[in-house]
Amino acid sequence: MRKLRTAAATAAAAFTGLLLLAPAPASAASPSASPSPSASGTGKPVVHSVGTSFLTATTLASGQDADVPVSTGDYLYWAFPAAEGQTATVQVRVTLPDAADRHGPQTWTVELFDGLRRRQSCTAGPQNGTAEQDAATLELSCTLRQIRSWAEPWSGDPLPGTYYVRLSTPDIPQTDLGLASTVHVHVAAKGGADDAQPEGGSLKAPLVPPVNAGATAAAEAAAPSPSASATYAAAPAEEESHWYSDLFSGWNTRWWWTIAGGVLAALAGVLGYTLTRHPRGHHPHRPAPASAPVPHQGPPAQPRQDSWQ
């Protein structure tokens, strides 16, 4: 009996050692599978999500791809950052539903918006495309203008920040809404801060040099040499002075104007009264009316007496 127990313990120990020495499965070695690399070869993971509004847009980095199964007819949104001096390009490839399930041509369009929801124009690429009923794929692209470091308040120039990609179907048969499609989006950017100036021009000096620029007391004491811009700047014109220049100036300017205004108002009132009212005692002469003859009046009539008295 003791020999059997010893043999069983030895066998159990040997079996446990074999389990410990066995190689671990691949799933145990990597508990979380890493995202698939991008098809463009940049090494960034492929995104498999998409937003349906500006607030829910999926963020993509420069050089990153997105492969998403979508429903035909939905508004699809992605967002990507753009820095100063960069020129971003968005490429879209739509895998359309089966030709047997479609009932006519489909028109797709890609649009770019800045952080203020302003639509930006595309400088290159087919922004709109129409796929016939027998077409299998449709490719679109949009190249944004070069990102500027500053712009005027009234202009719509692209500035550094977040930009949104919207993919939609403005023209599609009503019966084709809801069909399953696949969208592939790729965001690329070239350039950087070293290429921030627009193509074909650069600003080397201020457009308007300072004219009669102010100076501090320390600068006057140091008496520095005038700069080149101040040398070529036009000298300010001296103000001309006349005998009446100091008449209405100084601390009593308000009182002078108040008195002058009161005098003018009084004269205007007197003149208006004179023109609208006749002076007293100077009425025009009116002739007296001619006297009519007085008719002759007889003696008063006596009262009549009756005969029976």
pLDDT band at 11 (very low <50, low <70, confident <90, very high): low
Kindly tell me if the per-residue pLDDT of 229 is higher than 80: no
Averaged pLDDT of the chain = 75
- CA torsion 199→204→209→213, rounded to 10°? 130
Query: Do 72 and 95 form a contact (C-beta atoms < 8 A)?
Result: no
Kindly tell me if the per-residue pLDDT of 56 is higher than 80: yes
Q: What does DSSP say about strands 76-82 and 58-59: parallel, antiparallel, or unpaired?
A: parallel
Query: Do 63 and 82 form a contact (C-beta atoms < 8 A)?
Result: no
Residues paired with 131 in a beta bridge: 106
User: What are 173's two structure tokens?
Assistant: 């048969």
Kindly tell me if the per-residue pLDDT of 65 is higher than 50: yes
User: CA of 263: how far to CAs of 27, 257, 272, in Å?
Assistant: 104, 10, 14
pLDDT band at 44 (very low <50, low <70, confident <90, very high): confident
Report pTM. Answer: 0.52
d(CA 90, CA 80): 10
d(CA 267, CA 284): 27
- Would you call 232 helix, strand, or coil by DSSP? helix
Look at residue 155 in the predicted model and tell me its pLDDT: 80
- CA torsion 264→268→274→276, rounded to 10°? -170
Query: Do 103 and 84 form a contact (C-beta atoms < 8 A)?
Result: no
Ordered DSSP codes for 241-293: --TTTTTT-STTHHHHHHHHHHHHHHHHHHHHHHHHSPPTT-PPP-PPPPPPP
CATH code, residues 58-191: 2.60.120
- Which residue did the predictor score with more confidence, 205 or 35? 205
Residues 6 or more apart whose CB falls under 8 angstroms from that of 183 comprise 50, 66, 67, 68, 70, 76, 92, 93, 94, 95, 167
Query: Do 66 and 78 form a contact (C-beta atoms < 8 A)?
Result: yes
Kindly tell me if the per-residue pLDDT of 234 is higher than 80: no
Residues paired with 139 in a beta bridge: 93
